[in-house]
Amino acid sequence: MPLVYIHGFNSSPASLKARQTSAWLEKNCPEVSFVCPALSNDPVRAIGQLEAEIEKADEPVGLVGSSMGGYYATWLAEKYRLKAVLVNPAVRPYEWMLEYLGVNANYHTGERYQLEQRHVDAVKSLDVPGLQNIANYWVLLQTGDEVLDYRLAESRYSGCRMTIEQGGDHSFQHFERHLPAIIEFLGLATGVS
C-alpha cells in the first residue's frame, strides 16, 4: 500500500519530514511503499504528477502533505476520496504566493524558476470550498509556525481530527513521533507500534 508524501512550496523529497517518513517506513512497515515525487514548480504539472501516482496505484493511497503539500493533499483527498494527514497546511497559499512572484530558488536543490501570476491562479483554482468527508483528515499544527498562522488551518479544518501542539515551528518539530499513529490513521498497516 502506498503512502504519497507531498512536500511544500520550494521544498523537495530531501525535506526532513519526507526523509523521516521514508526511513521509518523502511524500518517498521516495509510493506508500505513510500512515494515522494519531486514536484514541478508549475502547480498544474505538480497536481498532474500527484494524480499519476494515485491513479497508477493498485490499492488505496494514503496522503501526507506538508505546508503547500497539505493544500494539494486536500484537493486530492476530495477528488479521490482518500485519507490525508496535513502537517502545518497552507490554507490560502494563493494570497502569500504573490510575494514570491519573480525568480525563486528551491531550498534543497537550488533550482531557479520564475513564479508567474498564472501559477498563482492555478493554485487558487485548486481551492476546495467545503470538505465532503471531515473524517478523512487529520491536521497536525504547531502554534510556533513562523511561516503560516496555524489558526487559519484550525478554522479551515474545524471538525476534523486535529492535534495542536504549543510551540514548535513550520517544520513541525519531532514529527517522527507521530508516524505510527499516522500510518494507522491512513489505514496503510495494522499492528504498528
- At residue 65 the predicted structure's pLDDT band, cuts being 50, 70 and 90, is very high
pLDDT computed for residue 192 by the predictor: 56
For residue range 69-82, list pLDDT tens digits in order: 999 999 999 999 99
Q: Is residue 191 part of a domain?
A: no
CA atoms within 13 A on the CB side of 151: 0
Is 37 a residue whose pLDDT tops 70?
yes
Q: Is residue 140 part of a domain?
A: yes
pLDDT computed for residue 191 by the predictor: 55
For residue range 177-191, list pLDDT tens digits in order: 999 999 999 999 765
For residue range 115-145, list pLDDT tens digits in order: 999 999 999 999 999 999 999 999 999 999 9
Q: Is residue 7 part of a domain?
A: yes
Q: Is residue 95 part of a domain?
A: yes
Determine the structural domain holding residue 90 and report its residue range. 2-186
Q: Is residue 107 part of a domain?
A: yes
pLDDT computed for residue 48 by the predictor: 98
Query: Count of domains in the chain?
Result: 1
- At residue 108 the predicted structure's pLDDT band, cuts being 50, 70 and 90, is confident
Q: What is the pTM of this model?
A: 0.95
Give Cβ neighbours of residue 79 (< 8 Å, ≥ 6 apart).
51
Q: Is residue 56 part of a domain?
A: yes
Write the CATH number for 150: 3.40.50.1820
What integer best gives the mean pLDDT of the chain?
95
Q: What DSSP string describes 140-156?
A: EEETT-SSS-HHHHHHH
pLDDT computed for residue 116 by the predictor: 96
C-alpha–C-alpha distance, residues 147 and 141, integer Å: 12
pLDDT computed for residue 107 by the predictor: 86
pLDDT computed for residue 149 by the predictor: 96
Q: Is residue 192 part of a domain?
A: no
Q: Is residue 193 part of a domain?
A: no
Spatial contact of 101 and 120, defined as CB atoms under 8 Å apart: yes
